[in-house]
Amino acid sequence: MTTAAPTLKTSIAYPKGQITLREVGLRDGLQMVDKFPSTQGKLDWLALEYAAGMRHFELGTFLPTDRYPMFGDLELLIAKAMEYPDLHGAALVPNKRGAMDAFASGVSELHCVISASEEHNQANLNRSCADSLTEIRQIIELRNSRHPETTIGVGIAMSFGCSISGEVAPNLVLTLAENLYEIGADIVSLADTVGYAGPKQVEHLAREMYSLASGRPFGIHLHDTRGLGLANASAALGQGVSMLDASLGGLGGCPAAPKATGNIVMEDLVFLCQTAGFDTGIDLEKLLLTREVLKREMPAQPLYGALAMAGLPKIGNTVANT
Amino acid sequence: MTTAAPTLKTSIAYPKGQITLREVGLRDGLQMVDKFPSTQGKLDWLALEYAAGMRHFELGTFLPTDRYPMFGDLELLIAKAMEYPDLHGAALVPNKRGAMDAFASGVSELHCVISASEEHNQANLNRSCADSLTEIRQIIELRNSRHPETTIGVGIAMSFGCSISGEVAPNLVLTLAENLYEIGADIVSLADTVGYAGPKQVEHLAREMYSLASGRPFGIHLHDTRGLGLANASAALGQGVSMLDASLGGLGGCPAAPKATGNIVMEDLVFLCQTAGFDTGIDLEKLLLTREVLKREMPAQPLYGALAMAGLPKIGNTVANT
C-alpha cells in the first residue's frame, strides 16, 4: 500500500525541543463525572483556554453515547474546535469503529490506547494486548492510505505500575513503545493511569524514551492521585519530554481510587514550566479565569489547584533566580 | 571563651547521607490557626507520629503566650517530648529572650530565623538583618559556653524570593548561609516562606549549599503554596539535602496569601522519598492514621494530602521499577 508520509504534520503539532501542554479535561476530565458541561459550556471552555494560549486539546472519546452521554456532542465539538487556527484536537479511539468515526470527524489526531499490562488491557478494552496492537496497526494503515493528514498518537496505559497486576517492567513498556513507533505511531505517550509513578521512575523511563524515540515526539500522561504529579512532570521536563497532559482545575478522577484526585492541574503545571524556563505560550492569568466556566457548568465538582488559591508570585520573572 | 565542640551531637541528629524528615506541624502548622489542639491532643499527635517512626519535631515557638496561645504549653510539650528516646525536638526562637527560655527548657535544638530580604526581616522581626545576625551569634556563643549539648539551627526565610521585595539573589542567600556556618550554626535551612520556588531554582541552590556546607547538614523548608512543594522536594533530594520539613495533612498557611495551602504534606513527602529509594524509617500506614488526631482536635481545619484520599499503591515496592 502506498502511503503519504505524515511526518510533516506531526512535526508541526509537536515542534522539536519545545514542550507542548495538552488540555485533556474535555476527555479524561469528564470520563467519570455525573454532571458534565453543556455543549455551550464546552465551547466556552475551549474558547477561553484557546484565548489563554492553549493549542492542544483532547476533545472526547468515540464511545457509545448512550453509555457515555458526556461525549454525545463530540462531533459537533470537533467541528467547532477545528475552526480555530492552529488548534490541534485529539479524540480517543478505543477501537477501529471509533477510529472510523474519528477519521470522518476531521479531528487532527486519533489517540489510541493499549495497556502495558495484559490484565488491565483485558479489563479496560476486553481484548489481549496482541489484539490491541493488531487493531492499532490496522488504524495506522487506514490513516496511511486514506487520511495521511491525520496524526496517530498512542498512549500506553499503566506504564508505571498497574492497579490490577502490580509492577510493570520498564523494558516491557519500552519495547512496546518501540513497536508502536515502528508500525507508524507519530507520538507515543506513557500514562501513569493510577498515579503510581515517582520522579525517579519517570526520569528513568523518560530518558529511555527520549533515546529510543530518536527525535520523534513522546508524551507523559500523569495523574496526581498520590500527590507526585508535578514532581513527576518536573522529572519528565528534565528529560526532554515533548508533551505533557493536564486538565484545568485537575478535573478527572482515578478509576482505581474513587475518592482520589485526577489529572495534574494545568494551571500549576504551566507555573512549573515557567519556573523551569519553558515558554508554554500560555497566559496564566487568562488560564485561571477559564476556571469560571467549570464553576458555572459543574458547581458541585471540586476544583483543584494551588495557584488558583494563592495567586501568582509578586515577582517579575521567577526564572531569573535559577 | 572555651567551647565544647557540639559537632558530635549534630552528626547524630542529622546523619550524613541520610534524609531527615521533620514534622513542623506543631509549630509552623499552628502559627496561623484560630483553633489549636489541646495539650493532650498535641501529646497524642506526638505519640502516634513517633510510633510511626518520626524522630524530628519542631515543637513550637518561644513567643509571648498572650498573643500566641497555641504555644502556651510549649515547655510542657518539650518536657514530655524529651522523654522519648531518640526524639530530636526543636523550638523556634525569634530572639535572645526566647533563646534563654529554650535553653532552660532542655529542647534538643534552637531554631533561629533570619531573612534573606532586609524588608522581610524588618517586617517579621522588627530589626535589620545585621542585628539579627549579631543576635544569632550571641545565642551561639551562649550555647558554646553554657549549653554545648544543644544544636543550633538557622532558617533563612525568603531564600527563594520575597513577597515584599521580590527577587532574592542566590549569592546573597549563599553568602549568608556561609556566614552562619562560620559563626557556628550546626544546620542552615533555606526556606521558601511564601512558595515562590520552582524545582530548577531549588536544584541550583541545594547544589551550591551541598558544596559550601562541606559535609555539614543543610535543610530545605518548603511550602506548597503554588503547588510545586513536592516537585521542589524532589529536586532537593537529588542534590543531597539533609533535612526536609513538612507537616501532617499540610497543616499551616502562608502569611502572604490567606487562602493558600501551607507546608508540604508529610504523608505525600514520605511516599515521594520511598519512590526515590530513600529509607525514611517511617511507616506510612501508621502515619496516615495520625491524621485522626488532627480531625478530632481541629474538625474545621482542612487537611490536605493526596495519599490519604487515594491510599497506597497496590504494589510491593515502588522503588523496584526505577
What was the pLDDT predicted at A254? Answer: 83
| 0.80 surpassed by pTM | yes
* Chain B: closest CA distance from residue A141 (Å): 34
Q: Which three cell numbers stand for residue A214?
A: 530518536
The residue of A163, A230, A261, A271 whose CB has the most chain B CBs within 10 angstroms, and thus the best one to mutate to test that interface, is: A230
As for the ipTM of the complex, it is 0.92
pLDDT-wise least confident of A127-131, A314-318, B31-35 = A314-318
**Helices A118-125 + A129-146 axis angle, to 10:** 60
CATH number of B7-310: 3.20.20.70
Contacts of A224 in chain B (CB under 8 A): 306
What was the pLDDT predicted at B319? Answer: 37
Q: Looking at the predicted structure, is the pLDDT value of residue A262 above 80?
A: yes
Q: Which three cell numbers stand for residue A49?
A: 483556554
All residue ranges of chain B with pLDDT < 70 are 1-8, 316-322
Task: Measure the CA–CA gap between B276 and A46, rounded to whole angstroms.
Answer: 37
Task: Measure the CA–CA gap between B94 and B61, rounded to whole angstroms.
Answer: 8
Residue in A198, A268, A316 nearest the CB of B227:
A268
**B228 touches A190 (CB < 8 A):** no
Closest residue of B to A202, CA-based? B322
Contacts of A320 in chain B (CB under 8 A): 167
Q: Which three cell numbers stand for residue B172?
A: 546573597
Task: Measure the CA–CA gap between B292 and B287, rounded to whole angstroms.
Answer: 10
CB contact under 8 A, A322 and B194: no
Residue in B194, B204, B276 nearest the CB of A322:
B204
CB contact under 8 A, A227 and B265: yes
Q: Looking at the predicted structure, is the pLDDT value of residue A99 above 70?
A: yes
CB contact under 8 A, B234 and A235: yes
- ∠ CA A272-A274-A276, nearest 5°, is 70
CB contact under 8 A, A228 and B272: yes
Q: Looking at the predicted structure, is the pLDDT value of residue A322 above 60?
A: no
CB contact under 8 A, B199 and A166: no
Task: Mention every residue, 6+ apart, whose C-beta is less than 8 A from residue A214.
Answer: none
- Measured between alpha carbons, how far is residue B169 from residues A22, B79, B166 in Å? 34, 40, 10
Which one of the listed residues B112, B129, B162, B254 is annotated catalytic? B254
Closest residue of A to B231, CA-based? A231
Four-residue CA torsion sign, B57, B262, A318, B200: positive
Active site residue B254: yes
Task: Measure the CA–CA gap between A51 and B11, rounded to whole angstroms.
Answer: 55
Residue in A161, A271, A315 nearest the CB of B227:
A271
Residue in B163, B233, B322 nearest the CB of A204:
B322
pLDDT-wise least confident of A15-19, A239-243, A282-286, B132-136 = A15-19
Q: Looking at the predicted structure, is the pLDDT value of residue A269 above 60?
A: yes
Task: Measure the CA–CA gap between B47 and B50, rounded to whole angstroms.
Answer: 5
Contacts of A196 in chain B (CB under 8 A): 313, 315, 318
Kindly write down the DSSP assignment for every residue of B200-265, as one continuous string. HHHHHHHHHHHHHHTTS-EEEE-B-TTS-HHHHHHHHHTTT-SEEEEBGGG----TT-TTS--BPB
Residue in B199, B201, B224 nearest the CB of A306:
B224
Q: Which three cell numbers stand for residue B320?
A: 523496584
Residue in B161, B254, B318 nearest the CB of A315:
B161
Nearest one of B141, B13, B77 to B91, comparing CA atoms: B77
What was the pLDDT predicted at A6? Answer: 46
CB contact under 8 A, A260 and B195: no
Measured from the Cβ of residue B213, the count of other Cβ atoms closer than 10 Å reads 18
What was the pLDDT predicted at B11? Answer: 83
What was the pLDDT predicted at A8? Answer: 54
Closest residue of B to A238, CA-based? B200
**B30 touches B36 (CB < 8 A):** yes
CB contact under 8 A, B275 and A201: yes
Phi, psi of A298 (to 5 degrees): -135, 65
The β-bridge partners of A113 are: A155
* Chain A: closest CA distance from residue B291 (Å): 16
What was the pLDDT predicted at B153? Answer: 98
CB contact under 8 A, A275 and B200: yes
Q: What is the pLDDT of residues A24-53, one digit of tens each?
A: 999 999 998 889 999 999 999 999 999 999
Phi, psi of A195 (to 5 degrees): 70, 45
Task: Measure the CA–CA gap between B132 and B112, rounded to whole angstroms.
Answer: 9
**Helices B229-237 + A229-237 axis angle, to 10:** 50
Domain boundary assignment for chain A: 7-310
What was the pLDDT predicted at B2? Answer: 47
More confidently predicted of A317 and A301: A301
Phi, psi of B86 (to 5 degrees): 70, 5
Confidence of residue A127 (pLDDT cuts 50, 70, 90): very high
Q: Which three cell numbers stand for residue A179?
A: 513497536
Contacts of A288 in chain B (CB under 8 A): none
Contacts of B201 in chain A (CB under 8 A): 275, 318, 321-322
CB contact under 8 A, A318 and B234: no
What was the pLDDT predicted at A1? Answer: 46
Four-residue CA torsion sign, A29, B318, A157, A256: negative
What was the pLDDT predicted at A4? Answer: 46
Q: Which three cell numbers stand for residue B55?
A: 524522630
Contacts of A235 in chain B (CB under 8 A): 234
CB contact under 8 A, B194 and A313: yes
What is the total residue count of chain B? 322
| Per-chain mean pLDDT for chain A | 93
Task: Measure the CA–CA gap between A225 and A227, rounded to whole angstroms.
Answer: 6
CB-side exposure of B271: number of CA atoms within 13 Å? 33
Task: Mention every residue, 6+ apart, whose C-beta is less than 8 A from residue B168.
Answer: A321, B116, B117, B158, B159, B160, B161, B162
Task: Measure the CA–CA gap between A199 and B275, rounded to whole angstroms.
Answer: 8
Task: Mention every residue, 6+ apart, whose C-beta is less than 8 A from residue A293.
Answer: A37, A41, A44, A45, A48
**Residue A69 CA to chain centroid, in angstroms?**
21
What was the pLDDT predicted at B8? Answer: 54
